[in-house]
Structure 1
């Protein structure tokens, strides 16, 4: 297995600089491929506007032919001015609850990504988190690039340095403590991914519409594992896009994320007779430690091609 991972790393790990923009535009134009960029957003007024502005300036308006055909922010119920800031910067803003209203929305990032397939039309869908600071357009063209130049590649994740308190670091805390051990132990073919939980990845729609979506924090691990089983390791790739700066979560939020990711893995290892789990954490109160219990994200949405509204649109 180690030899397979090393072979994959040599064949399917690139840098954003490996594919100049003019090359990508030529390939895109020749193939007629369309690209949608989706930013899932919840209370991200401080960062979403700058991300949209960079994508519009460098990948839409500043090129002879746009690399990005659709730039959509999916607002999942922000209480701040996220929607207004994103729209002013030039994105099309869609509210999560306005997509597929027949099915009541569940809270969670995966829910937003799943619904975004009905709000976009691109042959390639590129997801970018809306809390990034010092955003570079390489986060988009870097991961879209292999899908325009390598016909056999279907799923591309960004890899990057992820500083925490000034230390460079290659992964987040949940990645290193939960996701990486799980992948190495149970799906060792995926051991070569530097950022398996990263929120920046581009996928062919033809693959995304075949995959179930965990509704919460487990969505990145779930999609990666299911893509491996659906199209095989050689259809997966990663691209170095530099450094990722973003908001860091506190320890308790990370605990809830870790539980959801573990549960996502557990479901994929054994899908029978599992109780709905809960996670109890503790906060110090005036009279000592107080327990707080949270449900762990377990809901999953079916492959989008099984949804009647999506099937009708594709047929049309």
Structure 2
């Protein structure tokens, strides 16, 4: 079936907009040095938030690198906060020994109750920090360098029109058959990218829309909801595109990344959460209205003997898309004391 002339023109217009955006809003981490960015701060306060769950093997080295290079050698970062997301290992102790401030995820805004998921840790991290700019770095990186932080801060400190910066990188996938140089972003390529191209093609220029390394201005981050689970990143991009336009968003090549890969079952649950978030946004912005909402139960199978004698065990997971509201919408009585001081 051939598209109508109007449909073709609309797609060409979006393609041209994305091409212009790619040239204007894409950079490399090496474009900015710590010294240059420290000089550009001019009183701006910078916070780094590291969500971590059972990351005792990696979080200490990440905190140490940021503290030594970007706090002690260059006065670029003002605080490092590790949000301990219900770890069962020594993540909190290792992070504190390396020089980070550490908070338990459920100790921030406890009157709201606790939700499970990465997005919850990120939202709590924004609430518990004071920076005008907030940088998010995953706690499971094996090859972390401080270029991750400086690369994400570069556009924010040098261009006031940029409100949110996404990282991307080469992400290898190593398995029994060898190493695939860019095979690590499986959920991105199989789920997020096709859906974004279908419904929000303006976002098709993001190399890794689900990347866990990104940064934003506080007023931008506090203006949007945070999906509590792995839908948080795709929710951010859609909400910010709708609220602020494509030109307020940027992306930076952070080079190379190696981290712990999740199982296929875990990736299936992640994909389901991302799809539910996208369907929620389709309804929220009037792009697709469905008479029956998507089911939130995901059925998966693992090896095991069921009652019927079949060598598979049925596992059900509820992927309900719980969300935290924009921090700026909370009543003053619930806002953390540090945030009230900043906005007074």
* Paired position in structure 1 for 2:143: 134
Alignment partner of 1:277 is 2:309? no
Aligned CA distance change for structure 1 residues 195 and 127 (closer, same or farther; 3 Å): same
Contact in 2 for aligned 1:215/1:297 (Cα 8 Å): no
Alignment partner of 1:60 is 2:71? yes
Alignment partner of 1:256 is 2:269? yes
Alignment partner of 1:306 is 2:317? no
* Paired position in structure 2 for 1:75: 84
Contact in 2 for aligned 1:99/1:118 (Cα 8 Å): yes
C-alpha deviation, 1:274, in angstroms:
2.8
Alignment partner of 1:111 is 2:134? no
C-alpha deviation, 1:117, in angstroms:
1.8
C-alpha deviation, 1:173, in angstroms:
0.3
The within-5 A match list for 1:11-50 is 11-28=24-41, 30=42, 32-50=43-61
Contact in 2 for aligned 1:40/1:112 (Cα 8 Å): yes
Deviations 1:125-176 (A, max 9, x none): 1000000001110111100111000110000011100000122117510000
The runs of 4+ residues in structure 1 deviating greater than 6 Å are none
- Whole-Å separation in 2 of the counterparts to 1:259 and 1:233: 26
What RMSD over aligned residues (CA atoms) do the two structures have, in Å?
Answer: 1.4
- Whole-Å separation in 2 of the counterparts to 1:170 and 1:67: 33
Normalised by the size of structure 1, how large is the TM-score? 0.96
- Whole-Å separation in 2 of the counterparts to 1:181 and 1:275: 18
Contact in 1 for aligned 2:173/2:184 (Cα 8 Å): no
Alignment partner of 1:291 is 2:314? yes
- Whole-Å separation in 2 of the counterparts to 1:44 and 1:82: 5
The within-5 A match list for 1:3-14 is 3-14=16-27
C-alpha deviation, 1:314, in angstroms:
4.4
- From 165, 184, 199, give the equivalent of 2:212: 199
Deviations 1:183-217 (A, max 9, x none): 11111111010110000000000101010110001
- Whole-Å separation in 1 of the counterparts to 2:257 and 2:53: 19
Q: What stretches of structure 2 of length at least 5 have no aligned partner? A: 1-13
Contact in 2 for aligned 1:162/1:170 (Cα 8 Å): yes
Deviations 1:33-65 (A, max 9, x none): 1110000011000100010011111111112xx
- Whole-Å separation in 2 of the counterparts to 1:62 and 1:53: 12
Q: Greater Rg, structure 1 or structure 2? A: 2
With 19-28 and 154-163 compared, the bigger mean Cα shift is at 19-28
* Paired position in structure 2 for 1:186: 199
Alignment partner of 2:253: what SS? strand
- Whole-Å separation in 2 of the counterparts to 1:313 and 1:26: 25
